[in-house]
Structure 1
Amino acid sequence: MGALLLGSYACSDEQDFDQFDDLSITPTLASSIFSVEADEPFINSFTTVNTFYTNTFNFDAFNEEFVAERLLEGTITYEFENTTSKPLIITIEFLDEGGGVLDTEIFDIPAGPAPAFTIEVDYGPGGKPLDILANTSDIRITGINLGDTTSTSTEPDPKIVMKSAAEFLFRLK
């Protein structure tokens, strides 16, 4: 019985709960932002204006002050694939609550068929200011056809595909 008490005593150490103060938690959150597709007949249908696509959508990922204050850095990845016969310009605008433009990304997309390509834009240390992301309320995407409205690609199902995803690093503690 004495050995059992000695074993129990030896296994119970005083716990140090102050270790939590030294803990650093920095999770990475990955998310899709948008995916847009427009086929060549749709692009050709806009004969009086060159803008074939415009859409503004809500992006309140950082509208909570708690979240915005803990954002350390982020990367937004844009992917484009154009199999149409059209050279295009894609403009992406980050808007604040009042509709003011915080930042603009302009992508010159060559006529297809062209291989898909990816562009990464960094925010935070070594990149654009984090305030752009923290203050973004809406994102506006505009597509402009720089070509004609009659030509048609020989590719099957010619279209422009635009996708975007992001990774954000936060400090929780």
Structure 2
Amino acid sequence: MKKLRYLLALVTLFAFQFTLVSCTEEQNFDQIEDLSLTPTLSTGIFYLESDEASINQAGPFNSFYFQEVNFDAFNEEYVSERLLEGTILYELENTTSKQLRVTIDFLSEDGQVLDTEVFNVPANTTDIITRDVYYGPGGKSLDILINTSGLRISGNNLSDSTSVSSNENPKVILRSGAEFEFELL
């Protein structure tokens, strides 16, 4: 019986030592050099809403909406140097009886137009018009985003000033958001 206990203890010790040796391997802490962090950040940019009465009040072929907004998202060199790509998303709906044109100008710090997005919107659209504009590989130049300091948004009535939609609470709505991908390491 003593021999059996001695043999069992020896086998257990041998198995434990074998397990320790076989389950460990040399660690490579240089793997951090291969690490790449590329977060995607999402944000809203602007929101435009105008009712049909305001559009009629502006008159035919006149501007019913005009605004310049500050857009210094990439004014920090650290941020602009690490931008890999971006997408600006637009959603537009028009339940008014008006054919409209909405224009978005991307402006440099000195007021020069870097890029323009134009939406020609038919009257009484039941569907939401969506547009995704890509910047970076396979899209527009990243320099447009990096050098944009402001946005100029204007809405023009391309119709008359008397018609009224049969829709309840007719208005035009433009939503804009963006997703940007950066490389941090």
Q: Same fold (TM over 0.5)?
A: yes
Report the CA distance between 1:48 and its aligned residue. 7.3
- Relative to structure 1, the CA distance from residue 14 to residue 96 in structure 2 (aligned partners, 3 Å threshold; closer, same or farther) is same
Structure with the greater alpha carbon radius of gyration: 2
User: Which aligned pairs between 1:1-173 and structure 2 lie closer than 5 A?
Assistant: 16-47=28-59, 50-173=62-185
Report the CA distance between 1:117 and its aligned residue. 1.4
The CA RMSD measured in Å over matched residues stands at 2.3
Q: 2:3 maps to which residue?
A: none
Q: Percent same amino acid at aligned positions?
A: 57
Count, aligned residues: 173
Contact 2:61 2:158 (8 Å CA) reproduced: no
Report the CA distance between 1:13 and its aligned residue. 7.1
Equivalents in 1 of 2:175, 2:138: separation in Å? 24
Per the normalisation by structure 1, the TM-score is 0.90
Report the CA distance between 1:35 and its aligned residue. 1.1
- Relative to structure 1, the CA distance from residue 20 to residue 66 in structure 2 (aligned partners, 3 Å threshold; closer, same or farther) is same
Per the normalisation by structure 2, the TM-score is 0.85
Name stretches of at least 5 consecutive residues in structure 2 with no aligned partner: 1-12
Equivalents in 2 of 1:122, 1:48: separation in Å? 34
Show CA shifts across 1:117-148 (max 9, x none): 10111100110000000011101100000001
Contact 2:60 2:159 (8 Å CA) reproduced: no
Contact 1:85 1:113 (8 Å CA) reproduced: no
Report the CA distance between 1:113 and its aligned residue. 3.7
Equivalents in 2 of 1:148, 1:27: separation in Å? 47
Show CA shifts across 1:96-132 (max 9, x none): 1111110001110001143111011110011000000
Name stretches of at least 5 consecutive residues in structure 1 with no aligned partner: none
Matched residue type, 1:133:
L
Contact 1:83 1:112 (8 Å CA) reproduced: yes
SS of residue in 1 equivalent to 2:154: strand
